[in-house]
Each structure stands twice: as C-alpha cells, then as structure tokens.
Structure 1
Amino acid sequence: MWFGTGGLSPGGGVSLYDGKSWITYTEKDGLAGNLVWSILQDREGVMWFGTSGGVSRYDGKSWITYTQKDGLANNAVNAILQDKEGVMWFGTRGGGVSRYDGKSWITYTQKDGLAGNWVEAVIQDKEGAMWFGTWGGGVSRYDGKSWITYTQKDGLVNNVVRSIIQDEEGGIWFGMDSDGVSRYDGKSWITYTQKDGLAHNEVKTIIQDKEGVMWFGTMGGVSRFDGESWITYTQKDGLAHSWVWSILQDKEGVMWFGTGSWYPDGGVSRYDGKSWITYTHKDGLASNGVLSILQDREDVMWFGTWGGGVSRFDGKSWITYTQKDGLAHNEVRTIIQDKEGVMWFGTMGGVSRFDGKNWQTYTQQDGLADNKVISMLQDKEGIIWFGTMGGVNRFDGKNWQTYTQEDGLAHNLVWPILQDRDGAIWFGTSSGGISLFDGRCFQTIDSKDGLADDAVHSLYMDKSGQVWAGTTGGVVRFMPKNKIQPPVTITQVLAGEKTYTQLSERLNFCAGVRRVAFGFHAPSFKTRPGRMKYFYQLVGRDTDPDSRDGFAHWQGPTNQDTVEYFNLKPEKYTFRVQAVDRDLNYSEIASLELILPPVWHQIVWIRGILAVIGLVFLAAFGFVTWRWTAHRRQVLAYQRLAVQELQDAHDMQMGLMPKTAPPIEGVEVAGRCLSANTVSGDFFDYLAGKRDNEIALVIADVTGKAMKGAMNAVMADGILHAKAEEMEQLSPALLMMKLNNVLKTRMEQEMNVTMVIAVIHRNRCVARNEAISEAISKNHVLERSEGSVSEGEHSVSEWETTLTLANAAHHAHPLLLRDGEIQTLKTGGLPLGMRAGIKYSEEQFKLQSGDVLILMTDGIIEAQNSETQLYSDSGRLERTISQFAEDLSAEALVNAIINDAINFGGDKTTRGDDMTVVVAKIQ
C-alpha cells in the first residue's frame, strides 16, 4: 500500500507498506515534492505521484519528475488518471488539466471550455468521455471535440466537486465539498424485473385497477403489484394461458385477461378476485388467442383474436365478425371506441371502422403507413393515431399524416401508444425505445436513459400521472418531474473570419460581412449529449414581420448546435434559438441582434456617382471592344493559317514514309513513324541497292519544327535518294559524305540532320571447312557464321549476311537482338549539314539467322514519365525487346516498342517529339 503524506508539519513524502515494514520516499530520493495529493499505478506497474512540486514517475528503480518547464500546467497536482488509450491526465491547482501521451503535452483551461482551472478530480466514463471536477466551477465533460459544463443551475448540488465515480449502471456520482452527493442519471426511472417479483421480464400489457393496483400481463403469467408486494397468477391458479396479451377491468371491477397463442390452448379468463372463469372457442369465442379486449359504452365486451376475427359478448350470447362480414383481416391486434361510439379494429390487413351497421376499411392506398396495425389511440382532440409496422399515422377524419424515423421517430415498428396529461403522445417501439411527440418535436428515451430494454411492448399512465413501460427486460416506472426549462445560450458568433465569444445583446459587424455562423448550447443532466433538440430562426431572413413572435418560419428541430447563413444583405437581424430537452421541456428563447452595415458602394449617393462613371466607362468600353474585335479577327486568321501550315507539314512528313520495304530474300523489314503534336522532322526510308539482295535502312531526325522541319526532311530524303542512285554499291559512309556536302549549301545555319544508315547485303557462298575455321578465328564477336559445325563433319549455310553501319551523331544507337541478348552497335560521326568535307566511317558486322536489328529515334529513348524518368533508363525498352518471340513479325516488334514507350510517357498530348522505329529480322 502507498500513502501520500505531508502538510504544515516537517517531513512528508510518500510511504510504502508491504504488510511488514515501511519505506518512505521524499524529495531527497527524487520525489518532486513532499506534499503528495494523488497516487496512481499505471498499466505497466509504474507509480505516478502528484505533488506540490510537480509529477513524479517511479518504476521501482529510478525517478523522473515533470514540472511546468516540461509542459505541466501547474506544479501542484491534485488528480492523476490514465485513460483507455494509455494517455496520462493531470488535474492541477490553478493551471487547468494537462494531457501527456509520452511525447508531447497539451493543456486545457477555462479558455478552452474547462469549468475551472483548479481541478480536483478526473475520470473517464464508459463511453470514453473525460469528466473534470473543479473547485467552484462545477464539472466539465469533454468528448475529445466539445466541452459541456454543469453547475448548480443544471442541478448539481454544489460547484465544488471533490471526487467523481461512475457506477455499474453508468450513472456518474459527484462528491461535493459540502451539501452531499449528486448522481447524473436523470433521477426519473425505477425498474422492476423478475428479481423483484415480476412474472416474466417481457411485459405485453399494463393497467391500473380502480384501487390503484398495477397489473402486468407478461409471457409468464399475470403479476399484481400494490406498491409494496407482488402476486403472480398462472395457469395453476386458473389463468387460461401464461401468455397474456391484454388486460381489462370492467365497470363491475372484474378483471379480464386475453391469453393464448396460435396453438389451440388459451382463451379469455375472467377473475372477480375470488374465482376464475375461462371462455374459449367452444363457448363462442372466435379464437383462443386473444390479443385485445375492450368494453364499450353499452357494457358489451369485444375480443380481438389471433386469426379468428373479433368477438362480441354481451354476457349471454356471442357474435363473431370476420373478413366475410367486412373486417379487414382476421388477426385483430387492437380495438378502440371513438367519441362517437364507432368501433375501430386494427388488424394485420388495415384498419376497419364499424358503426354497428356498415364496415369501412382503410389501407395503405388510403394513406395508412402500413397495413399491419399494432395499436390505436384517440387523443383529447379526437385525432386517431395508428401504430403500424411502417411508422405512425395521424388521422383527423379527412387527412392522413405519416411519421417515420426520417421525422424523428425512434423506430418504424410501433407497438403501444399513450397520451400523457400534458397532451404529449408516447410511442413504444420494437427496438428504439420510446418516442415522445408534442406535435412539433420528437424526443427519444431509451436504455441509455434508464429504460430496462429498448423493445417496449406496453405503455400505461396511472392515476398519479406516472407512466409505466413494459419492456422485454422488465417494467419501468417513469415518475413525472417538475417542468424545469433547460437553459440555452448563444456561445459564439463567427462573422467573416472573426470569432466573437464575448457577446452582448447586440453585435455590430464590419462592412462587407455576408456570412455569419452561430454556436449555441443547452447544458442538461437528464438529456444526454447530442440528444438536445434546437429550433432557430434569423428574424429578417427566415421570418415575416407578422410572425416574429410565433413558431412559423422556425428551422428545426435539429441536434446540431451550430448554424450558418450565407449571402446576407446589409440589414438588421435578430438570431433566436430555443432548446427542447428529453422530456419536451422548452427553454426560454435566447436572442442576439446583429447589424450588418453596407459597404461603401452600396450607399445611395455613391451609387449615383458610380452610375455616371459607369456610363462613361461603357462608352469607352464600346470603342475598345470594337477595336479589339477587329484585332481578334486578324489574329484568328493568322491562327487558321498556322493550323493549316501544321497540317500541311504533317502530311508532308508522313508522305516521306514508305509503305513497304524493297524485297530482300531472307530478311523481313518493318517501320513506323508516330508524329508528335508539334510536327517534327523524323523520317525513315528504304534504299534498294543495285546489287542483288541489298537494302539500306535509313532513320533520321531533322532539326526544326512545323513546316520548316518538314521541308528540311523532304529535302534531305530527296538528296539521299539522288546520291544513292549514283552508287553501284551502297556504302553508308560515302553516301553520308555526299549528302553532307549538299546539305551544307542548302540548309540554314544551326540546322542539321542526325542519321543512321544500315546496309544489309546477303550473298550465296560455298566455303571449305578450313576457311570457315580461319574466318571464325578472325571475325569480330558478332561475326559468326549462320551455319553450324557438328562433330566429325562441317556443314555451311548457303547464305552470308553482312551489316554495314554509319552513324551521323544519331545518339539512339542501333540495337541487335541475338539469342535473347541485346547488344548496342556504337558508331559515331558529326551531324549532317554542319560542316562541308566531313569524312564518315563505317563498320561491318556478320549477321546470322534469328538476329533482329532495331533502329529508332530519340523520341523513343527520351520519352519521360510523370517523374521525369527517361524511357531508356527505366529498363522497359530492353524488357520489351527481350520478350520478342521468334515466331512474331518485325511489324509486331515495331508496334510493341512504340506502344510501350507511349504507355511509359503518358498521354499523347504531352509528347513533344516523334517516335520512329525500324526493325529488320534475319530469317
């Protein structure tokens, strides 16, 4: 056991007693202060001590002290709590409350909503909300978002709260400095169950007899309660069946019990206090399952049954009415007689009205919420209410009105209906508790308010005005209280970007304010947070002058405690709000007057000056508009010419591209150029050599955009063809030298062409084995014969394929795919058209069957994704080429490379360069 000590005398500290010996820790050992007010052991077993000098943490070995320097609100710590999340809370003397999560500190004070900065007690309730008892300020509840403060005005015994605890039922108890204890539960409910003497916890019907005794029909018999003792009657005593659905005391004081089920046993039992008489189907009762009983003004008994219709018994003879006679349905759940003497029957097929001669039935087609009618009530004004499986109906004889969960009803399946002395209508629901309705506002009472269970089967108001509720979990008695209006206040106003919390009766805003928001609050012990309802209006906007003091044009009810208005005109307004608590008690109306002044341009004499200035401006604007329109027409004409130029350039560029390659035996060739948005100068072409089986593949990138780029491409391609015609044997280096010399004289300065020319030549040959061996030993790594050598005998392919390459500064180097591996064929030279007399070199490679040659422009390798990564750096190009299958065509590889580059680089609209690919596949 740990004991916090200290006071005015010397010494103090904290003492530990293990049952045998004492150990005392003081400031000398590491305790923050010798005056100890609070002690807590956390979930890890660590001890925390709130002292006069801060908070000390002791893990059994070492001490850590936290003070104001670390973030604590005040060094004098009255209370310590560890919440469900493991966060530590410290209530201090004069500094408020501090929250510490092991890393950072947060302090809450009166400025944030705390009742007072001297905090005596801290707890966390079952719902996770924090409660803080203060010295002189009352108690505050904090749910992590908003604060609610309760004081003596709300029902607290005293504003000095020393201790707080929550009991097993969820009630919060507050220990005061004087005057006793307060408990927060509404103080309105008393519950009776089987433990108290009730026959069964599921109560179907309740009445009070002429002597004030309460009777409860349950699923286990009938219970009688005189306020002190209980008596239960079952089948052993003479009751027809243990399931009791309805009870009635007739004018002679005799008790009638409707019992039974869908099974044959059951019936109506009559009890005069001494003996029992049971009536069943054999005696003339429509069915042995009796759900409802009524005695009319002529003393005739009516019995609504389970599937047999309704029976009328005058003490001598029985008459039964069924669907054949005009009844809506043979299962009759409820019976009433209205003020005119007309009988009403609520059935599983609608409502039937019987005036003794004629039947009339109302269903959903007439306005009924649902055809399954469980309960009925005629209120003091003659209105008939119907509880159905689809909501509640109000019927004034002409018009139907339906209320459902969307309107505030607790649940759409409504069982009993009751009107209390104040005229409020009570609706017991299947799983939502009880709804109270005064014609304007719905409020709900459920198990969190003290109801035994949210399934309410019966409601009854006794002679004293107490309401008894029969639920699945027992009987609850609701004791009416004095009507105490809940206090409501306007807590803050937000106008524009400024917040007002110090509110008087009138607020004057700055000019130009168009948006105003209001916050309001009504604290209450009995009405749970979030259940208070509010009505509000902004006089001058929501109301007419004639309705300022009435309920017309009020907004609500709503659970929200804020409202915001937009686009307000400069005017005087009055905001009004009224709160409604759980018991339908209405608060006084809180109001606040607002004045929104006009901005300078809304003043009348300024508007006159502005009108004159406006006329002058309009005249000037008309002239400027005329000039601008003429200029705009000229600009549009230039734009149309530019668009046409781009289209012509695109057509010209695409016209360079060959449809197919000249045939060469054993070589498949394909190419494609995908132009960008801005026409560039990419092109590719095929040149047929004069030797057999010879072809030159050309791929180029010409500087310049639009028409200039296209013209340069056309010129370069034309010169290339002319020079190739002059050559008996195609040589890439020689062809480039001739093309360069011509382009230098024809192209503008700073313009140039990068190009790769790849000449493929195939030749039939027959070689001896020794020659093959010598060739293999001398050739480059790529110079491998197309044939294969076998052990003991050499065989040679009849084709020899040679690749001759020249490169004029084209940095998208050719690639060769051989046996699943990719090799880069690097050759170099300056761009064409920059300087005359340049000599270009060429290199030769031997190709073999299955080799694939790929030429491309920089539009492929320089494609970028959203992160500006280059396609050539991503590894995707190599993967696309490596996955090329031998049985696929060259065209398939061309399309695969272009499509993958597009997917990598994004949508076409972001591409600024052409994409060109040429592929040659050696078969």
Structure 2
Amino acid sequence: MGTIDGTAQNQPLKNYTQNNGLPSLHINKSIQDHTGYLWLASKNGLIRFDGDEFNTYTTKNGLISNNITTVATRENTLFIGTDKGLSIKDYRGYTNFEGNHINAILTTKNHTFLGTNKGIFRVREEYLSPLRTNFQIDLNRINDIAFDGNFYWVATNKALWKIDELINPKVLKRIDTDNYTSVLIHQKNIIATTYNNGIQVVSNDKVTPLTTSIKKITGIKKIDNQFWILSEDEGIEILDAGFNFVRNINKYNTLATNKITDAFQDNEKNTWITTKNNGIYFIQNKKSEQKKPTISFENIEVVFSSIDSIDINNYPKTLQLPSNKNHISFYYKTININRLNKVTYRYKLNNQTSPWSTKNVVDFAYLAPGNYTFSAQSKVGNMESAPIEFNFFIDTPIYKKSWFIWSVIGFISLIVALIIWSYVRRIQAKNKAKVAKLKLENHLLSLEQKALQLQMNPHFIFNVLNGIKALGNSGKSSELNATISKFATLLRGVLQNSRQEEISLAEEITTLENYIELEQQINSRTFEYAIHTKLPVDPEEVLIPPMLIQPFVENSIKHGISSTTNGKITIDFFVKNDFLYCSVIDNGIGIEQSKKRTKVSSHTSVALKVTQERIQNLSKNCTFSIHELYEGNKVTGTKVLFKIPFKTDF
C-alpha cells in the first residue's frame, strides 16, 4: 500500500494503484455494501475490495460489459450500470438488461430507476421500461436522480427538474436551465452542481447560485459536515456548512491527479477518492469510535456445491436436505477497514460453541440426521456483532425408516403372491389366447366372405347392363364397345382381386378408376374425380387389402353428390408415421342431409359397416372417421378418413 506525502484533513493519504493490485486506474464510482465490501466501478470491470485484496468481476463472470459507469446497492443486491445497459448481481448470479449508457442509479423501496444518455428507465422483472415524462427529459442525458421523500430531482445536461412521480407524473416543473451534473439532498434544500457555473442551492423552488473556484464539476458529496465539490479536471474544492471556502485537494498539494470521479465516506468514517487516471485514495479516520461490527454469510456449500437458489442471508425457512447431503460448509465475513487483522469469529451448531478465532470458514462432514441451527458471530476489539443464523434439516436414510422396513416386508410378500398369481394367469391366458385366435380367424373369414359378396353393387351391374343395352339400341357402337370393355375389365379385376388377401395400391387405384368412369357414363348427373398419391415409394410396391375404398366412393356417388351440380370426388393416399392414410372427400350435401332425403340401402349400409370392421381388424392402431365439412355454417361436403399399416412388398 503506497503513501503520498502531504495531508488532507490532517490525516495521511494512501494511494491504491496497479502496484498495490488495483486492476484499473480509471475508477468511476465507489460504494460500500451491507457486509462492508467496497465496490469500485472501473473501465476494466467491477472491483471488490475488503481492505486487503482486490477481486475483479468482468464479462467472463457474467457482466454485460467491462466498462462499469456506476454502481448502487440495495440490501444484498448490486445494481451495476455500464455503457451497454444494466447488470444485477444477487444470490442467483447475474441478470443482464441491454440498454443505453447508464449514468445514475436510484434505488427506492419499490423501484429502481436508471438515468441514461436517453432519458429515465425503470427496472422491470424482465426488461428495462422507458419512462415517458417530458421530451426534454426523455431525449436528453440524465446525469443524476435524487429523491427527497416527496419529489424526485432530475439533473440533465439541459436543466434541473422537479417531479412528483417518475411513473405517470402529475407535477413536472423545470427549476433551471443549465448542464446539471449532480444533486445532493441537504436538510430542506436541494444542492445541485452545474458543469461550468458552480453550485445552485434550491429552496422553495427558488435558485440561489454559489460561485466556485473550479469548473467542470461532476458531483458534490457531504463529508464530515463539509461539501466536497468534485471536478473532472481541477481536483476537489471543500466548502464548510455555510458554503465558505476551506481548502482545495488537487495535484498541487496532495494528489497526483486532478481528474476526480467520486468521493464517499464508508461506515467507519474513512474517506475514499476515486480518479480517472490514478486509482483511488484513502484517508483513514483515526478518531472514529469503535462500532458494532456486522457479519454476513458469503457462501454455504452442500457437498462442495454452493447453494445458489436461495438468499442465504435472508432465508426464513429451514433448508431441507436428503440423508446423503450431510456435508455442509459455511463461509462468513466481517469487513473492518481500520482493524482488518483484528476481526475474530466464533460459531455455534445447536448447543456446541467454538472458541474465538480468525477463521471464517467451518466445515461439517457426516452430520447425523436431524434439525440443526448454525449461527456465527464476529468481534472487533470488545464489540461483538449480532449473530446470524441458518437452519437446516438432514433427513433420515430411507432404509432406516420404519415405513420403509414394513414396505419391504409387504413388497416381498406381494412379490411372492404375484408370482403365484402370474403362474395361474399365464396358464389361463394361453387358453384364452388360443380361443381368441380361433374366434378372430373365424371373424376375419366371415368379414372377408361378406366383403366378397358385397364388393359390387347388383344395382350398379344392372345399371351398367341397361346402359349397354341402350347404347346398342341407339347404334353407338364405339361407345358400346368401350363401355363393354371397361365393364369387363372391372369385373375381371374384381374377381382376380377377391382371391388375394393383399394387392398393390396401383391395382386398387386402377379398379377404382374403372369403377368411377363407368359410374360417370351411367350417372344422370356429371361429376369429376381425382386420385392423388403422395408416397415415399411407387404405388406398385405398396400393399393394401382389395376393394377397401370402393364402398366409400360408391356412397359418395349415390348419396353425396347425387343431388349436386358439378360434383367432385377427391381420393388422397399419403404416408405418415408408418401408416398409410386414405381420404375420400366429396362436395355433396353431407351425411345428415343425405339421411333426411333418402333411406340408405341395406347393401350400402352393410358394405360400409363391413369395410369399417375390416379396417379396424387390420391392426389395433387403425382408425376410421367420417364427418361433414363446413365453410362457416354451411355444409360443403363429406370426408372419410382412415389409416392402415403401411406395408410394401420388399
């Protein structure tokens, strides 16, 4: 720790630079947290100082940026302002919010506000919310924000403002125009600094200017009942309580630089001065009375892993631990800059108390099951801190619990009973399986027989023959020959396919095309049809039971589009999740209207039922559905959709 000759407040001045381990010479701001750590906002990250050792936190640790512009604290949470937004450090780690360059942070009981290069922002749970107050505030640089208990005072690079509420303000008053750099609440007055026009004292909204000997003022601090005026290029000017000149602290009498960024007094009345190019200066208060120290938990580890999911210093419950998590370590700390090496600690676990020592870590291994209360205390001189406590519970191993022992006995008994029952069930299941297999085979044979008998509608055959007869009587020999040829092809295909359990999808489509085209010729109303395939293989390689689709197509022709002009039937085949899907869609009158207009023939009804049973018996995963299609409240047709296992011949 280096020293500089000279005096400030008649006390020695110590300078911390890179030679003492300070990671950066450019320090923007300094604060002290509840434990007593000093936090320094630097150009090279966030620096923590305990009076002896510097620790640096950067983007590698989770910060949003290494250029730290300001820092504030509330309880055990740090709000870290940077040139790229805000980082919040708490027991859960870091939470980052991208945003503008942050110049000031104001923490209140319910909110945290940020003064940025473009207006004021409020910290929400998941984002930074811009506050709309006045365009002269929202679009300008906010240098400082202060709250006097009733009003917020906002210093911008253009003016000083008085606002009743930052969220939905009702009172918004511009007190003065100038480049205001900082605000200090002093008794009933507001003391604000301007960059080049000295100090402005505001009382009852009236401004009284006070001229200073220095320019480029960036801030004002109240230290030992004196006002310290900070300049970014001319050092520090100290005024007494009546704003009379006391002395200057600058490179000509005390410091090695005039580029001052901040000054504050810690809880032991020591004074810290931060600079832009020469680190920090420390003025120790030799006359400070010994104060009661404060102790805080720094970390709690369970089996060498930190507890990151709870606030260890404000955890009101009892931490529940399983039986195998019975190794726990506690880390606690008291910071006392003036008596760094005189801090001692003791701990208590339930009724066992340790002697005082300098050790601030304790490790408990192989703790027995039960409830525990751990407490720790620190002592500086004769002053003891209030103890801090943490409660935890270690569960009993499951194998020692009575319910587990009785459960094991019951489980073993159940296993024996299940083995006997399973043996009997297996014998019964074998017999049932044989009976079910025979019934299923008989049922399938019966369904196939019914399907063969119902594959072609006798009415359809009769209508085709009448059509052929009419063509013969009319002398249309070419159409007659074509119709007879198509009808013969259809009958031959039906007879050939009826002898097989499975045919190719291409054969099924050919049979459907012949059937539909014959229906087009004999039907009194014209209609169109389309057959689409979207398959990963050629339809010739796909296997399907014969005459599976024809009953649905026939139902669409006879009852769906029979009363429709420009009727259309669309048949789609596609594969999804190892299943072949088939849909038959018509633009007819719909199921319900068809039922009202005509009574479905017994052939059609039985054919549809048998075909549905055939589909469902192919596999337990097969599905079948039929429903009406709508556009708005209007029925536009009927859709039949079913899926069967996707099978190929390779």
The TM tier, using the shorter chain, reads 0.3 to 0.5
**Bigger relative CO (Cα 8 Å, ≥ 6 apart):** 2
TM-score (structure 1 length as normaliser)? 0.25
TM-score (structure 2 length as normaliser)? 0.35
